Amino acid sequence: MNVDILQGAWLETQGRVKEKWSKFMDNELGEIEGKGLKQLGLLRKHYGYIRNKSKPEYQDTVKLAGIISSISKIMKKTDGMAIAFVARYGRPLSANNKRVK
Q: Please, what is the Cα angle at 38 between 36 and 44, to 5 degrees?
A: 100
If DSSP codes are grouped into helix, strand and coil, which group holds residue 11? helix
Please give the average per-residue pLDDT across 6-19, as a whole number.
90
Q: Any residues with CB less than 8 A from the CB of 50 and at least 6 apart, and which? A: none
Please give the average per-residue pLDDT across 68-78, as a whole number.
69
Residue 63 pLDDT exceeds 60: yes
Under DSSP, the state recorded for 99 is: P
| Residue of higher predicted confidence among 79 and 69 | 69
Please give the average per-residue pLDDT across 9-18, as a whole number.
91
Residue 17 pLDDT exceeds 90: yes
